[in-house]
Structure 1
Amino acid sequence: MVQAALSGLCPRCGAATLFETPASIALSCDRCGLDLGALERGARLAGLVTILTAAILIMLAIGIDIMLRPPLWLQVVIWAPLTLAVVIGTLRLYKTALLYRRYEAQAEQGGTEG
Structure 2
Amino acid sequence: MLLVADLALLALLASGATAHADTVVLAIAGSVDEVLTNIRNWLMGILAGLATVFLTIGGVRRVFGGGDPGEQEKAKECFKAAGIGYALAALAPLVVTVLKGIVGA
TM-score interval, smaller chain: 0.3 to 0.5
Greater percentage in helix: 2
Greater percentage in strand: 1
TM-score by length of 2: 0.39
TM-score by length of 1: 0.37
